[in-house]
């Protein structure tokens, strides 16, 4: 059951994200009924699955939210800003309820109750307030909700039809249908309809007798005995009938039964009446009700039954086309494929050594299959970055309100795919950046007006593929960074000399320093100088880089470059003496010879003259203190980073190499210029260079 | 000119023990006027018999070509009870269902 509840939680969080996205979309376009339908379905599913997996409070609360959305769907309520805000608050409450496993604190309960009252106020009448209501007579204490997968249950989802008519004296006997129905909701998701047709007119009504009966369609993994347990306190004259009408063994693509068949199965029409009705062009239910063969209530009950069956079968259909897999299993698969890539590299190397054409042909086949397997495995982990965009839309909306600013979020490239792990770790840094953009970047509406800008600011979040990596930009049209202010702060902190000549772009990088904030006011949103250094560290950990461009008065653009995946990279294998190093291919621009003549021309400086441009370089032999003699002609591997060229002098360039990244141990974590290690085909270890970090380390001395 | 609605102020308990009296009140009001507007703000306690009574009152009024309407603000407990019982919205009853 824990596993099932975990699946529910995962699914519910996705649905809550969908709900949030939909609500924000609806705020912009309140008449978009497609969006209303989408958010209605999301909340409806949370309600249904919640009930099925024992989250009864979640299910009940979702039901109240659903009622409001239903009124919007039926055109009885307009989705204005107030309703959207209320529904967003309810969405957050559902999130909390699921998170704390329904163990709400007093504060949470108070918040939920106040939301409930507000929901009722918009769900019921036009009135703004809800009167202090008379309370119903207290009922016997309800039995605690039990785990719905009881012993003896086969765990399969089934649908039951339950028909319940209390005896006439049931109310006098203390039988409480409301308590029974509540108990039944603990067994599964219920669709309840009440028959009121047998209720007499006032003059004939004995109000102390029971005149109502119930039809309940219940979806549950429990058995008949669990359902009948709920009726243990019904009176002796009551009538109860429980029938199974659908289960998981019936495939999802089988259509739901026809209305006429349901009515026949319920014993409400006979064969002859059905045969007559089938000859008519009218809908069967309508025709049978018109002829008085069945009552409109009976048709309604059959329709509910049909809808529930159809719903469940549709869900089964979806379940057969996609499979939910735990992320850890996927990570393990990627690890295994990584090991396979290493083993395959060894096989290729050995086959080349032996010069055996048969082994070579097998090795080639294995190489091809491994590459295919690697691509498809990594492909499974790729998810569109748009899945995280939704939360930013909400962030911009809420922050705008909190800071009395007007801001809109524009997104682009939501379909851009990235490794799931990268996307997960990217969320927090992006939140920091967007918070900063709105808090410090976007000006108040009057300031913007005075500056000739539209009152509402824009934060644009884009993602696209470029040069083997994903580039994410966060662009705002706010006030921009103030280079003078940053320079003063950097001087004050002793980071640069007062007379240092430094470009704005380099200056802006200081914003990523720990404790570096030029904000005059510290808000609860940002401005403590905590955040941007954390952002930088997070991006570094993802083997990405981050840069800032800003024009005072016009806005700021933050650009993040990230690798497509954290597991495997295309690299250039180089050698210094017997040591192997791998450089990420995406930063390598070219390789040139570095002769004794070139060295002499540089007069001892570590710069090379390449195509009329001076390129600074580092001698890897010296930097990593590798022993041995250097060859007469060395190789200069030139890399580019943000337009800056930097070279690495090595003994030999071996060639392109696909590299499975292994993390370095704790001992090497702080060594600058290294991002990991890998095992080569012959079993030796190669260090993976962080070209940018190494260049920076060299520059810093 | 339409006749003014008869205002009916239902008060006290509306439970198994007291419901008969409340039924008589509603019946009398419906006999007097073609339109009855009932307030339930003064109802202290209620149970299922009260829901049955209100439904029957609406059904009776409709059968006699009259109107019986609850004009109070929504009562959260009554709303909850009606929802839990799956009580359908009676024909002709508008937005204020279930009262």
Helix (H, G, I), strand (E, B) or coil at A587: helix
Helices and strands, number each (H, E), in chain A: 22, 22
Residue to substitute from B11, B24, B56, B92, interface A, most A β-carbons within 10 A: B56
Please name which of A308, A269, A306 lies closest in space to residue A289, comparing C-alpha atoms.
A269
pLDDT, position A124: 52
**Does the pLDDT value for residue A683 go beyond 50?**
yes
Supply the pLDDT for residue B30.
93
**Distance separating alpha carbons of residues A74 and B97, to the nearest angstrom:** 15
Band of pLDDT at residue A207, cut at 50, 70 and 90: very high
At residue A153 the predicted structure's pLDDT band, cuts being 50, 70 and 90, is: low
Interchain CB distance below 8 Å, B96 and A300: no
Nearest to B98 by CA among B66, B35, B44, B50: B50
- pLDDT-derived band at A678, boundaries 50, 70, 90: confident
The CA distance from A213 to B39, in Å, is 27
Give the Cα-Cα-Cα angle B46, B49, B55 (nearest 5 degrees): 105
Residue A422 CA, distance from chain mean position: 13
Least confident of A203-217, A453-467, B79-93: B79-93
Residue with tokens 């007006």: A449
Please state the rounded mean pLDDT for residues A159-185.
89
Residue A636: per-residue pLDDT: 93
Contacts of B36 in chain A (CB under 8 A): none
Retrieve residue A506's tokens: 């380099």
**Mean pLDDT throughout A15-31?**
86
Residue that the structure tokens 């979020």 belong to: A409
Q: Span A341-360, mean pLDDT?
A: 85
A539 pLDDT above the threshold of 90: no
The encoded tokens of residue A689 equal: 């260079």
Contacts of B55 in chain A (CB under 8 A): 196, 199
Determine the distance in angstroms separating the CA of B2 from the nearest CA of chain A, rounded to an integer. Answer: 25
Question: In chain B, whose CA is at the least distance from the CA of A176?
Answer: B48
Chain A positions touching B75 (Cβ under 8 A) are: 131, 133-134
Q: Find chain A residues with C-beta within 8 A of B28's C-beta.
A: none
Check pLDDT > 60 for residue B92.
Answer: no
pLDDT for the residue A350: 86
CB A213 within 8 A of CB A196: no
The mean predicted confidence, pLDDT, of chain A is: 82
d(CA A175, CA A258): 36
Mean pLDDT is lowest, of A36-45, A132-141, A336-345, B78-87, for: A132-141
Tokens of A115: 């939301």
Distance from the A552 Cα atom to the nearest Cα atom in chain B, whole angstroms: 55
pLDDT at A139: 43
Q: Average pLDDT for residues A576-591, to the nearest whole number?
A: 89
| Closest chain B residue to A67, measured at CA | B83
B26 CA: distance to closest CA in chain A (Å): 9
Q: Specify the pLDDT at position A146.
A: 39
CB-based contacts of A30, cutoff 8 Å, min separation 6: A78, A79, A80
The pLDDT value recorded for residue A531 is: 66
Q: Residue A356: phi, psi to the nearest 5?
A: -100, 115
User: Which member of A18, A20, A25, A44 is catalytic?
Assistant: A44
Tell me what pLDDT residue A136 has: 55
Distance from CA of B65 to the nearest CA of A (A): 13
Residue B53 predicted with pLDDT over 90: yes
> Which has the higher per-residue pLDDT, A530 or A454?
A454
Nearest to residue A164, comparing CAs of A113, A117, A118, A230? A230
Query: Cβ B52–A211 below 8 Å, yes or no?
Result: yes
Residue bearing the bigger pLDDT, A169 or A675: A169
CB contact under 8 A, B83 and A63: yes
Cβ of B56 within 8 Å of Cβ of A199? The answer is: yes
Instruction: Say which residue the tokens 């990593």 belong to.
Output: A624
Task: Please answer yes or no on whether A124 and B79 come within 8 Å at the CB atom.
Answer: yes
Interface contact B85-A120, CB threshold 8 A: no
Q: How far apart are CA A62 and CA A91, in angstroms?
A: 9
Highest mean pLDDT among A32-41, A200-209, A233-242, A535-544: A200-209
Which residues of chain A does B13 touch, with a Cβ-Cβ cutoff of 8 Å? 137
Residue A662: strand pairing partners: A677
Q: CB atoms < 10 A from the CB of A294, how many?
A: 23
Contact between chains at A181 and B46 (C-beta distance less than 8 A): no
Residues of B in contact with A200 (CB under 8 A): 56
* Nearest CA distance, A327 vs chain B (angstrom): 39
β pairing state of A417-419 and A382-384:
antiparallel
Structure tokens belonging to residue B92: 């002709």
**Roughly what angle, to the nearest 10 degrees, separates helices B76-85 and B48-63?**
80
pLDDT at A222 over 80: yes
Q: Spot the catalytic one: A20, A25, A27, A66.
A: A66
Q: Determine how many CB atoms are found less than 10 A away from the CB of residue A589.
A: 15
Q: How confident is the model at residue B24 (pLDDT cuts 50, 70, 90)?
A: very high
A140: confidence class by pLDDT, cuts 50, 70, 90: very low
**Distance between CA atoms of A104 and A112, rounded to whole angstroms?**
9
Tell me the HSE value of A439 on the side-chain side, using a 13 A CA sphere: 21
ipTM: 0.91
Contact assessment for residue A210 and residue B47, using Cβ atoms and an 8 Å cutoff:
no
- What's the alpha-carbon Rg for chain B, to the nearest Å? 13
Model confidence at A580, pLDDT cuts 50, 70, 90, reads very high
Distance (Å) from the C-alpha of residue B47 to the closest C-alpha of chain A? Answer: 6
What is the model's pLDDT at position A524?
47
Say if the Cβ atoms of B45 and A133 lie within 8 Å: no
Ramachandran sector of residue A292 (left: φ over 0; alpha: ψ -120 to 50; beta: rest) = left
Q: Contact A203/B76, CB-based, under 8 Å?
A: no
CB pair distance less than 8 Å for A134 and B48: no
Number of inter-chain CB pairs under 8 A, A vs B: 136
The answer to whether residue A146 is catalytic is no
Kindly state the tokens that stand for A484: 């003078």
Average pLDDT of span A200-229: 91
Q: Pick from A67, A137, A211: which is nearest to B46 by CB? A: A137
**What mean pLDDT is predicted for residues A73-100?**
87
User: What percent of chain A is helix, strand and coil (3-state, nearest 5)?
Assistant: 45, 20, 35
Strands, E, within A531-626: which ranges? 545-551, 555-563, 568-576, 579-584, 588-594, 607-610, 613-619
- If you write DSSP's letter for every residue of A226-283 in order, what string do you get? HHHHHTTTS-TT-EEEEEEEEETTS-TTSPPPPHHHHHHHTTSS-HHHHHHHHTSSS-
Given this model, what pLDDT does residue A128 score?
36
- For A599, phi and psi rounded to 5 degrees? -65, -40
Residue B62 burial by CB count (10 A; 0-12/13-18/19+): exposed, middle or buried? middle
Please judge whether A205 and B52 are an interchain contact, meaning their C-beta atoms are less than 8 angstroms apart: yes
Residue with tokens 């003014």: B4
Distance CA A291, CA A308 (A): 26
Contacts of A182 in chain B (CB under 8 A): 84
Out of A192, A201, A207, the one facing B63 most closely (by C-beta) is: A201
Who has greater pLDDT, B92 or A418?
A418
Judge: A193–B86 Cβ closer than 8 Å, yes or no: yes
> What DSSP string runs through B23-92?
HHHHHHHHHH-SEEEEEEEEEEEE-HHHHHHHHHHHHHHHHTT-EEEE-SPPPHHHHHHHHHHTPPPPTT
The H or E element that residue A509 is part of is: none
**A211 contact residues in B (CB cutoff 8 A):** 52, 56
The better pLDDT of the pair A368, A49 is held by: A368
pLDDT at A144 over 50: no
Pick from B46, B49, B74: CB nearest A130: B74
How much is the pLDDT for A517?
62
Which is it for strands B6-14 and B35-46: parallel, antiparallel or unpaired? parallel
Chain B contact set for A130 (CB, 8 A): 73-74, 76
Checking if the pLDDT of A691 tops 50, the result is yes
A25: pLDDT confidence band, cut at 50, 70 and 90?
A: confident
| pLDDT reading at A200 higher than 90 | yes
Q: Specify the pLDDT at position A150.
A: 41
d(CA A181, CA A269) in angstroms, rounded, equals: 27
Between CA A647 and CA A583 the distance in angstroms is: 12
- For residue B98, what is the nearest residue in chain A, using CA coordinates? A124
- Which one is predicted more confidently, A121 or B50? B50
Residue B4, min C-alpha distance to chain A (Å): 23
Q: Give chain A's radius of gyration (CA, Å).
A: 34
Mean pLDDT over A121-143 rounds to 46
Q: Which of A436, A443, A580, A657 is catalytic?
A: A436
Residue A208 above 70 pLDDT? Answer: yes
**Residue A88 and residue A43 in contact, taking contact as beta carbons nearer than 8 Å:** no
Which chain A residues have a beta carbon less than 8 Å from that of B43? 134
Q: Answer yes or no: A606 catalytic.
A: no
pLDDT in tens, A384-398: 888 777 778 888 888
Per-residue pLDDT band for A467 (boundaries 50, 70, 90) equals low
Alpha helix positions (H), A528-624: 532-541, 596-601, 620-623
pLDDT bin (cut points 50, 70, 90) of residue A126 is very low
Round to whole Å and give the CA distance between A519 and A527. Answer: 5
Pick the residue from chain B with its C-alpha nearest to A132.
B75
Residue A44 designated active-site = yes
Candidate from A129, A171, A297 with C-beta closest to B16: A171
In the predicted model, what is the mean pLDDT of residues A639-655? 87
Nearest CB to A207: which of B49, B76, B78? B49
| A137 contact residues in B (CB cutoff 8 A) | 13, 15, 45-47
Residues in Cβ contact with A461 at an 8 Å cutoff, skipping those fewer than 6 apart:
A389, A392, A409, A410, A411, A412, A430, A434, A472, A473, A474, A475
For residues B12 and B27, give the distance between their C-alpha atoms in angstroms, rounded to a whole number: 17
For A201, the closest of B44, B47, B60 (CB atoms) is B60
Residue A468's pLDDT is 62
The gap from C-alpha A601 to its chain's centroid, in whole angstroms, comes to 57
User: Among residues of chain A, what percentage have pLDDT more than 90?
Assistant: 18
Which pLDDT belongs to residue A148? 39
pLDDT at A280 over 80: no
Q: Given this model, what pLDDT does residue A671 score? A: 75
Question: Which residue among B26, B74, B95 places its CB closest to the CB of A76?
Answer: B95
């Amino acid at each position: 059951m824990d596993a099932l509840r975990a699946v529910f939680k995962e699914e519910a969080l996705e649905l809550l994200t969908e709900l949030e996205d939909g609500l924000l979309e609806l705020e912009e376009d309140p008449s978009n009924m497609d969006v209303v339908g989408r958010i209605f379905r999301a909340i409806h599913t949370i309600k249904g699955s919640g009930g099925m997996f024992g989250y009864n409070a979640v299910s009940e609360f979702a039901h109240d939210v659903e009622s409001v959305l239903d009124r919007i769907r039926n055109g009885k309520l307009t989705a204005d800003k107030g309703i959207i805000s209320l529904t967003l608050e309810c969405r957050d409450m559902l999130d909390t309820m699921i998170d704390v496993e329904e163990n709400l604190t007093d504060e949470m309960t108070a918040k939920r109750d106040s939301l409930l009252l507000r929901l009722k106020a918009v769900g019921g009448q036009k009135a703004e307030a809800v009167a202090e209501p008379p309370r119903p007579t207290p009922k016997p204490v309800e039995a605690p909700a039990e785990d719905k997968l009881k012993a003896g249950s086969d765990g399969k989802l089934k649908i039951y039809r339950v028909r319940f008519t209390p005896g006439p004296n049931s109310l006098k006997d203390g039988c409480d249908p409301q308590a029974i129905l509540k108990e039944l909701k603990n067994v599964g998701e219920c669709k309840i309809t009440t028959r009121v047709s047998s209720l007499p007119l006032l003059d004939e009504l004995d109000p102390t007798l029971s005149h109502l009966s119930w039809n309940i369609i219940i979806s549950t993994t429990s058995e008949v005995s669990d359902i009948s347990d709920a009726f243990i306190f019904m009176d002796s004259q009551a009538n109860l009938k429980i029938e199974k009408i659908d289960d998981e063994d019936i495939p999802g693509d089988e259509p739901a039964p026809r209305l006429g068949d349901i009515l026949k199965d319920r014993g409400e029409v006979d064969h002859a009446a059905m045969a007559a009705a089938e000859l008519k062009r009218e809908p069967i239910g309508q025709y049978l009700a018109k002829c008085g063969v069945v009552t409109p209530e009976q048709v309604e009950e059959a329709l509910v039954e049909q809808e529930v069956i159809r719903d469940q079968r549709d869900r089964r259909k979806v379940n057969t086309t996609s499979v939910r897999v735990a992320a850890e299993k996927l990570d393990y698969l990627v690890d295994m494929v990584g090991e396979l890539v290493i083993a395959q590299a060894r096989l290729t190397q050995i086959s080349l050594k032996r010069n055996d054409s048969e082994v070579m042909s097998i090795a080639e086949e294995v190489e091809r299959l491994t590459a295919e397997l690697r691509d498809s495995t990594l492909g499974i982990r790729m998810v569109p970055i748009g899945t995280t965009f939704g939360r930013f839309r909400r962030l911009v909306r809420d922050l705008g309100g909190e800071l009395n600013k007007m801001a809109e979020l524009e997104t682009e490239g939501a379909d851009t795919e990235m490794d799931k792990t990268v996307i997960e770790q990217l969320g927090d840094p992006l939140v920091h950046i967007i918070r900063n953009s709105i808090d410090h970047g976007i000006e108040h509406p009057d300031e913007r007006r005075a500056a000739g800008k539209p009152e509402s600011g824009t934060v644009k979040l884009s993602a696209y593929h470029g040069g083997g990596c994903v580039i994410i930009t966060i662009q705002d049209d706010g006030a921009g960074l103030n280079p003078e202010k940053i320079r003063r702060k950097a001087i004050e902190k002793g980071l640069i000399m007062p007379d240092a000549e430094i470009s704005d772009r380099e200056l802006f990088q200081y914003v990523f320093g720990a404790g570096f904030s030029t904000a005059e006011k510290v808000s609860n949103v940002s401005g403590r100088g905590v955040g941007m250094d954390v952002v930088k560290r997070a991006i570094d950990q993802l083997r990405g880089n981050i840069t800032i461009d800003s024009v005072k008065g016009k806005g700021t653009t933050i650009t993040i470059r990230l690798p497509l995946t954290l597991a495997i990279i295309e690299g250039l294998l180089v050698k210094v003496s017997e040591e192997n190093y791998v450089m990420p291919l995406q930063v390598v621009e070219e390789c040139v010879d570095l002769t004794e003549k070139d060295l002499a021309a540089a007069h001892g400086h570590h710069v090379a003259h390449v195509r009329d441009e001076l390129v600074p370089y580092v001698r890897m032999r010296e930097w990593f203190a590798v022993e041995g003699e250097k060859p007469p002609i060395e190789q200069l591997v030139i890399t580019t980073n943000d337009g800056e060229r930097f070279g690495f002098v090595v003994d030999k360039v071996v060639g392109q190499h696909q590299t499975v990244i292994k993390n370095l141990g704790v001992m090497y974590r702080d060594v600058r210029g290294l991002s990991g290690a890998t095992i080569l085909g012959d079993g030796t270890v190669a260090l993976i260079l962080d070209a940018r970090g190494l260049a920076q380390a060299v520059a810093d001395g | 000119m339409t006749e003014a609605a008869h205002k009916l102020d239902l008060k006290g308990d509306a439970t198994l023990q007291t419901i008969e009296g409340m039924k008589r009140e509603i019946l009398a009001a419906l006999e007097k006027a073609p339109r009855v507007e009932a307030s339930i703000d003064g109802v202290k306690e209620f149970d299922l018999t009260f829901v049955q009574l209100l439904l029957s009152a609406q059904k009776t009024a409709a059968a006699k070509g009259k109107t019986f309407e609850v004009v109070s603000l929504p009562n959260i407990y009554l709303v909850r009870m009606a929802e839990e019982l799956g009580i359908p919205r009676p024909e002709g009853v508008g937005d204020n269902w279930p009262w």
